[in-house]
Amino acid sequence: MKIDIAVFGSQKFLDQLDDLSDNKEVNLIYFPYDHPSGVTESLPKAANCDGWLFAGMMPYEYAKSYRYKVDIPSVKVPINELTFSYSFLHIINNLGIALNDISIDTPDKSILFSVTDEAQMNGKINYAYELTTDSATKYQQIQSLYHYHHSLWKQGGTKLALTCVHTVYDKLQSEGVPSMYVIDPSKNIIDTLDQIISQVQLKQKQGSQMASGMIDISPTNEKFDLKSFIETFSRENNIDIQYKNNEFMLYSTRGTIELITKKFREPLFTNNEITYSVGIGFGNHLQEAIKHANIAFDLSKKSAKAGLSETFIVSDEQKIIGPLEHIKSDMTYETQLKSEDLDVIDISKTAGISVLTVNKLLHFLELRNNQAFTSNDWSVYFNVSKRTGERVIKRLFDSGYLIIAGEEQPHLNGRPRTLYNWNHNF
C-alpha cells in the first residue's frame, strides 16, 4: 500500500523534490504557498495523509499549534553545515563575492562559523541574522528579515543577501536587491524524505498493537436504547465491546481506533444523547493495553466530576493524548507519563510534583510561547480545580522554577491576579 506524504513548500522547492523523488511506494501530495503562513490553510486538507514534510523551519513553526493536535509524523528539511557549505562555495567561486560582502539569515549562527572555520575560508562574516522560533513574531520576523537585507544593501554595506526564507528571497528579487536562496543540497532533501517514510512505516507497524478501552456511559434520555447503540457501534466499527463489572470493556487494535477517531482528531462517540467517560490504552500485548486503559480512564473520570464527557488515550510509550473532544480547541494536549530527561526528573523531585505534571507545564508554556500566565489559566487549560492549580504553581514558585512577571486585573473591582513566567536561569 502506498504512503501518502503531504509536502508543504514554495513551488521552487516542490519542483526540486519532484525531480529527486523516485520512490514508487510513496505518493507525494503537494501544497504550495507564496508565504509560509499559507501553510495553515493547507493543513486541514492534508489531515488524512500519513506524514507531513515541510520545506523549512518557517512553515514548520507556522504549523506548530496544529501539529500538536494531530498524530501525524512531521519533519522539516534542515538548514545545516552542508547547506551553507554549498551556498558559500557557489557565492565565492561562481559569483566572485567575498563572505564579508554578504548578509545572511540562519536558524543558528554557530553553523556559519563552523563551516568557515573548518573549511578555513577567507573573509569574515559581518552580517548574520539569527531566526527565532517564536510563534508570536513569525510574520514580523519575515518583514524584519526583508528590511535587514534590503537596508544593508541600500547603504552599500553588502553586495548580496543570502536567505533561508523563500518569501524573503522573492521579495528581495522583486525589489531588485541582489539575493540568493540558500542551496538545498539534494542529500538533505532525500534524507528528510527517507526520514518521514521511516517514521510513517514505524507508525503503521504500531497500528497492529492491541487496544483496550474502559467505557462508562449513560443515556441522557430514558427512552434511549443503550444496548442497541453499543451493539450497532461495535458492529459498524468492527470492534469487540463487552459488559463487565458495570462497565463496558473495548477490545480492538490501535489502527482501528485511529480510523474511528480520524487519527485522534475526533472523539470515539459523537451522539449527544449520552454522557460518557472513555479511557483507551495501547500496548504490545493485552495486559499492557489494559494497564494503559486504566490510566486513561482515571483521567476521563476526573473530567466526569465536572460534568464533561471526555476521551483520553495512553499509548504504548505512555504518551497521554486527549481529551479528544477538545481537539479543535487549545484544550487538548499530548504529554508523557514518564521521562528520561534529567532536567524534567530534577524539576519533578525538587518541586515535589509528578513527571506528568512537569511535562504538562512545559507543553503549556510552549503553546503559549512562554507568555506570562496566572494559576487560573493553568487550572482552566488542564481542567483542574482552582485550588489544585494554585498548589502546583506555588510548589514551582517556591522551588524557584517560576518567577512573578506582574499582575492582571480582569475585573475592575476584583482582586488582581499574579502573573507567572518560567525562570530561564534554570
Whether residue 413 lies inside any domain: the answer is yes
Q: How many domains does the chain fold into?
A: 4
316: domain CATH number? Answer: 3.30.70
**What pLDDT is recorded for position 330?**
47
Residues 109 and 163 in one domain: yes
Q: How far apart are CA 422 and CA 426, in angstroms?
A: 9
Residues 145 and 198 in one domain: no
Residues 213 and 325 in one domain: yes
Residues 110 and 66 in one domain: no
**What pLDDT is recorded for position 412?**
61
**What pLDDT is recorded for position 218?**
87
User: Residues of the chain whose pLDDT is less than 70?
Assistant: 133-139, 245-246, 303-307, 326-342, 345, 383, 410-414, 424-426
DSSP state of 285: S
**What pLDDT is recorded for position 416?**
82
Residues 324 and 253 in one domain: yes
Residues 230 and 159 in one domain: no
- Which range marks the domain in which residue 269 is found? 207-332
8: domain CATH number? Answer: 3.40.50.2300
Residues 193 and 57 in one domain: yes
Whether residue 337 lies inside any domain: the answer is no
Residues 169 and 195 in one domain: no
**What pLDDT is recorded for position 151?**
95
How many H-runs (helices) and E-runs (strands) does the chain carry? Answer: 16, 17
Residues 245 and 120 in one domain: no
Residues 214 and 304 in one domain: yes
Residues 199 and 221 in one domain: no
**14 CB contacts (<8 Å, ≥6 apart)?**
7, 30, 32, 55
Among 296, 312, 332, give the residue marking a domain's end: 332
Q: Are 5 and 29 in contact (CB under 8 A)?
A: yes
Among 204, 235, 255, give the residue marking a domain's end: 204
- Tens digits of residue pLDDT in 1-40: 789 999 999 998 999 998 888 878 899 999 999 888 889 8
392: domain CATH number? Answer: 1.10.10.10
Whether residue 245 lies inside any domain: the answer is yes
Residues 158 and 191 in one domain: no
Among 283, 311, 332, give the residue marking a domain's end: 332
Whether residue 355 lies inside any domain: the answer is yes
Please name the residue ranges forming H helices in 175-273: 186-206, 226-237, 254-260
**What pLDDT is recorded for position 82?**
94
Q: Are 252 and 211 in contact (CB under 8 A)?
A: yes
